[in-house]
């Protein structure tokens, strides 16, 4: 956690040798306030303003002290933003708002004086260089063709064919990008920059169980003190291996079904239950439904039930999808994530409690709600049900 001992900005501020001074120059805006904030990852309501000051004649300054280096945000007029790694040093930031991309809140800037930020920029450049490699230039043509196909369906067949042809190259590039991240983290396990280079790549959908364990335990020192490590990486790890891992008892919940009646997980009487988090806009979720219907038809009389939990979805769209797909199982809506009937920035409370970071997310559990499988593949689920029911 970043803590700041703020000092009011004075022209002749005496710099604390044990703290930081951020001297900023900004082009394109003046006489407005700039804020130094700590971000609430995945939850904008947890953003904390650490300090603020007025930009005068294109200049601003922050002074204070942090317990350890960490990523912070600079926010101008609550509209324009960027981030950098702060540490107790003399940091200079040059911002050019005249070069800001249209419709983007992020602005161009140059940071000097922060060793951790220098390291972060180096690591980020090494990772992104993969996408600029001539070896993968063909994939740019695929991206352009897919963009055309969205506007003109006559390009769709050609785009799909090229996508299949270039699939091995795309997988190779993804693997190269992943390995660049992994190498950086392994070489800099105690620097906060490594946490942010890995970033949201640390997830069940992108990493194997072995990798999740390796990288969680690899970080040390100041890296483990960062906001991102304590608020995101630690949660993913504990959800996967402790709270919601295979062998754990799934948290009970009570949500309303399509008729507005409360349904509790613990009250669903079945030998085996498949809890499936999904949304009407999630294409992979709905593509999986025909096979789930087959499984339910095959095993329902033997004691198999599915509980579908709609999340980050508008109720009318959720109900429409259920009717369109003719899914015969228990449906409940995780409604707390909905704001004014629109898609929410965050998922509902039950989804958060289950550590849902992607859709679909599924759990197979027994009659006592003990987790047997977590996010099984189609083949893994089929094999397990054959094993459990004997056919």
Q: pLDDT tens, position by position, for the chain (391 residues)?
A: 333 333 334 333 344 457 999 999 998 878 889 999 986 655 555 678 899 999 999 999 999 999 999 999 998 887 778 889 999 999 999 988 887 666 666 777 899 999 999 999 999 999 999 999 999 988 888 888 888 888 888 888 888 888 899 899 999 999 999 999 999 999 999 999 999 999 999 998 899 999 999 999 999 999 999 999 999 999 999 999 989 999 999 999 999 999 999 999 999 999 999 999 999 999 999 999 999 999 999 999 999 999 999 998 889 999 999 999 999 999 999 976 544 444 444 578 899 899 888 899 999 999 999 999 999 999 999 999 999 999 9
Q: Domains in the chain: how many in total?
A: 3
Task: Based on the fold, state whether residues 158 and 268 are members of the same structural domain.
Answer: no
pTM attached to this predicted model: 0.80
Task: Based on the fold, state whether residues 40 and 136 are members of the same structural domain.
Answer: no
* Residues 194/188, Cβ–Cβ less than 8 Å: yes
CATH of the domain at 92: 2.60.40.180
The parent domain of residue 155 ranges over 129-243
123 inside domain = no
The first and second tokens of residue 253, run together, are 């919940």
Task: Based on the fold, state whether residues 97 and 140 are members of the same structural domain.
Answer: no
Task: Based on the fold, state whether residues 258 and 328 are members of the same structural domain.
Answer: yes
Task: Based on the fold, state whether residues 75 and 135 are members of the same structural domain.
Answer: no
Task: Based on the fold, state whether residues 80 and 177 are members of the same structural domain.
Answer: no
Nearest residue to 4 (alpha-carbon basis) of 82, 93, 94, 70: 70
Q: Look at residues 190, 211, 243 and tell me which one is the last residue of a structural domain.
A: 243
Task: Based on the fold, state whether residues 273 and 363 are members of the same structural domain.
Answer: yes
Task: Based on the fold, state whether residues 317 and 366 are members of the same structural domain.
Answer: yes
* Residues 323/248, Cβ–Cβ less than 8 Å: no
4 inside domain = no
68 inside domain = yes
* 188 φ/ψ angles, rounded to the nearest 5 degrees: -135, 50
14 inside domain = no
Task: Based on the fold, state whether residues 180 and 289 are members of the same structural domain.
Answer: no
Pairing of strands 272-278, 304-311: parallel
13 inside domain = no
Q: Look at residues 79, 113, 147 and tell me which one is the last residue of a structural domain.
A: 113
Sheet holding 272-278, edge to edge: 330-334, 304-311, 272-278, 361-366, 371-374
Task: Based on the fold, state whether residues 293 and 228 are members of the same structural domain.
Answer: no
Task: Based on the fold, state whether residues 200 and 305 are members of the same structural domain.
Answer: no
Pairing of strands 330-334, 304-311: parallel
67 inside domain = yes
12 inside domain = no
248-283 in b/e form (b: 16+ CB < 10 A) is bebeebebeeeeeeebebeeeebebbbbbbbbbebe
Nearest residue to 220 (alpha-carbon basis) of 247, 191, 242: 191
C-alpha to C-alpha distance for 317 and 221, rounded to whole angstroms = 47
Cis check for the bond before 360: say yes or no (omega within 30 of 0): yes
E-only strand ranges, 65-139: 70-76, 80-86, 90-96, 108-112
Strand partners of residue 277: 309, 361
Q: Look at residues 51, 84, 113 and tell me which one is the last residue of a structural domain.
A: 113
Task: Based on the fold, state whether residues 267 and 358 are members of the same structural domain.
Answer: yes
């Amino acid at each position: 956690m970043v803590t700041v001992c703020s000092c009011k900005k004075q022209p002749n501020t005496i710099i604390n040798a044990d703290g930081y001074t951020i001297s900023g120059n900004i082009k394109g805006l003046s006489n407005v306030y700039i804020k130094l904030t700590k971000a609430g990852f995945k939850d904008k309501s947890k953003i904390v303003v650490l300090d603020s000051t007025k930009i005068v004649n294109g200049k601003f300054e922050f002074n204070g002290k942090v317990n350890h280096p960490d990523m912070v945000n600079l926010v101008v007029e609550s509209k324009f933003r960027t981030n950098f790694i702060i540490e107790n040093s003399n940091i200079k930031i040059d911002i050019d708002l005249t070069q800001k991309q249209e419709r983007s809140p992020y602005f161009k800037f140059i940071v000097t004086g922060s060793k951790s930020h220098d390291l972060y920029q180096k690591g980020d450049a090494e990772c992104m260089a993969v996408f600029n490699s001539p070896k993968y230039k063909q994939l740019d043509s695929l991206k352009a063709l897919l963009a055309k196909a969205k506007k003109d369906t006559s390009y769709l067949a050609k785009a799909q064919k090229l996508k299949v042809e270039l699939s091995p190259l795309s997988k190779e590039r993804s693997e190269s990008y992943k390995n660049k991240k992994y190498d950086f983290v392994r070489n800099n396990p105690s620097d906060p920059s490594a946490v942010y280079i890995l970033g949201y790549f640390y997830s069940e959908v992108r990493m194997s169980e072995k990798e999740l364990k390796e990288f969680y335990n690899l970080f040390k020192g100041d890296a483990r003190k960062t906001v991102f490590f304590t608020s995101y990486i630690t949660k993913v790890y504990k959800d996967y291996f402790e709270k919601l891992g295979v062998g754990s008892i799934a948290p009970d919940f009570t949500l309303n079904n399509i008729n507005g009646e409360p349904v509790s997980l613990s009250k669903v009487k079945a030998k085996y239950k498949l809890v499936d988090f999904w949304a009407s806009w999630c294409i992979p979720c709905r593509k999986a439904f025909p096979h789930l219907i087959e499984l339910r038809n095959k095993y329902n009389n033997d004691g198999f039930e599915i509980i579908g939990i709609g999340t980050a979805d508008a109720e009318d769209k959720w109900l429409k999808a259920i009717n369109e797909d003719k899914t015969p199982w228990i449906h409940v809506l995780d409604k707390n994530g909905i704001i004014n009937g629109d898609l929410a920035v965050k998922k509902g409370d039950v989804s958060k409690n289950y550590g849902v970071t992607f859709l679909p997310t599924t759990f197979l559990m027994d009659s006592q709600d003990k987790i047997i499988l977590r996010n099984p593949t189609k083949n893994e689920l089929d094999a397990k049900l054959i094993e459990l029911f004997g056919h």
